[in-house]
Chain A
Amino acid sequence: MVNCKDCLKDLSEYLEGCLDDELRRELQAHLNGCHHCKVIFDTTRKTVELYCDGRVFPLPDNVRLRLHSALRRRWEKKRA
C-alpha cells in the first residue's frame, strides 16, 4: 500500500512517465483517495507546464535584431 511519503518520493518519476505499470497503478489509486497528494501532483505538473509555455517568454524583435547585427559585425570583422 502506497502512503503519502512514498507518493511524494515517486512524484518526479510519475510526472515523467518513468514508473513501471504496477507502481503507477498503486500511486494512481492513492491519488484518487488523497486530496493533498492529488493537489501536490496536479500543481507540480502545472508548474512545469507554465515554465515550458513558449508564449510566456517570447524573444522580443529588437533583442533579436541586435543579436543578429552583433553576429554579422563579428563575422565581417573576422572576414576582413
Chain B
Amino acid sequence: MASVNTRGTGKAEAALLAEARAGKYEAFEELVNRYERKIYRLALNLTGNPEDAEDVLQETFLKAFEHLPEFREDSRFYTWIVRIAINEGLMKLRRRRASKEVAAEDATGDDGEVLPREFSDWRPNPEQIYARKELQEILQNAARALPVTFRTVFILRDIEGLSTEATAEALGLSSGAVKARLFRARLRLREELSQVFKRG
C-alpha cells in the first residue's frame, strides 16, 4: 500500500493549488490531508452509511483531481469540494432509493410549522455517557430521519460551518430558504435526540 504523507506544511492554499495544477502530486495530497476528515464526516452524515461515505470521499477527491484545471479561484477550494461531495452523496441516496434500499421518505422537504413537543431537559454530557460508536449511531439515525433537503442545509451550515450565502450557492437555494430549513432541521433533530437523551 502506498505510504501517505501526513506532514502538514502550513503552506498557503493558493500556492498548493498552483503546484498541484503544475503536476506536483504532494501539493494535491496536502490539500487532501487538510479536508479529508471533514468530507468524510459530511458524507457519513449525509448518507448514513460507512460504505457509501467512503465511496463519496473517494469520488469527491478523484473528481477534484480530474477537474482541478477547471477550478476557479474566486471561490474557496473547500467550498468547491463540498459541492462535489454533496452531489456525490445525493446521487448515492437517489440510487439507494431506486434500488428500494431506503424508503422514499425524504425526496422533498416540508415547509410546515415545526412545533416543539419535547420539553424534558437532557441528561448532562451525552458524549461522556455513550461510547463513541453508539453516539455516532444515535446522531446518524436522527440525521437520517430528516428530509434530505433539511439534512444537507444542516450539514453545510452547522457541521461544515459554511455561511448562509455559501450554503445557498452550493445548493442552489435562496438565503431565506437556507435559514428556514436550518431552523426546522435544528428543531427536528433536537426532538429526535430528546427521545434518547432526556432525563428519566
Contact = CB atoms under 8 A, between A and B. Distances in A.
B partners with A: yes
Interface of A: 8, 11-12, 15, 35-36, 39-40, 42-44, 46-48, 50-59, 63-72, 74-75, 79
Question: Chain A binding site: helix, strand, loop or mixed by DSSP?
Answer: helix
Given A44-B187, A59-B40, A71-B61, A51 B121 contact: no
Contact of A74 (B65, B116, B121, B186): B65
A69 B57 CA distance: 13
A75 B65 contact: yes
Interface stretch (B76-84, B85-93, B99-107, B132-140): B132-140
A72 B135 contact: no
Given A12-B179, A71-B61, 4 more contacts: A43-B193, A59-B37, A67-B58, A71-B62
A25 B187 CA distance: 22
Contacts, number: 113
B65 A64 contact: no
B15 interface: no
A36 B158 contact: no
B183 A11 contact: yes
B29 A71 contact: yes
Contact of B186 (A47, A54, A59): A47
Given A52-B159, A58-B37, A71-B32, A63 B186 contact: no
CB-CB nearest 8 A-B residue pairs:
A57-B41, A68-B4, A59-B40, A36-B119, A59-B37, A47-B190, A72-B2, A44-B190
Nearest to B125: A46
Contacts of B121: 39, 42-43
B23 A12 contact: no
B141 to A, nearest CB: 13
Contacts of A54: 37, 41
Interface in B98-128: 116, 119-122, 126-127
Q: Which of B36, B189, B190 has the most CB of A within 10 A?
A: B190
Contacts of B28: 71, 75
A64 B126 CA distance: 28
Contact of B190 (A40, A57, A79): A40
Contacts of A36: 116, 119
A71 B127 contact: no
A28 B61 CA distance: 45
Nearest to B25: A75
Contact of A48 (B36, B66, B186): B186
29 contacts: A11-B186, A11-B187, A12-B179, A12-B182, A12-B186, A36-B116, A36-B119, A42-B121, A43-B197, A50-B193, A51-B143, A52-B159, A55-B132, A56-B127, A56-B132, A56-B136, A57-B41, A57-B44, A57-B136, A63-B40, A64-B4, A65-B4, A66-B54, A67-B36, A67-B54, A67-B61, A70-B58, A70-B62, A71-B62
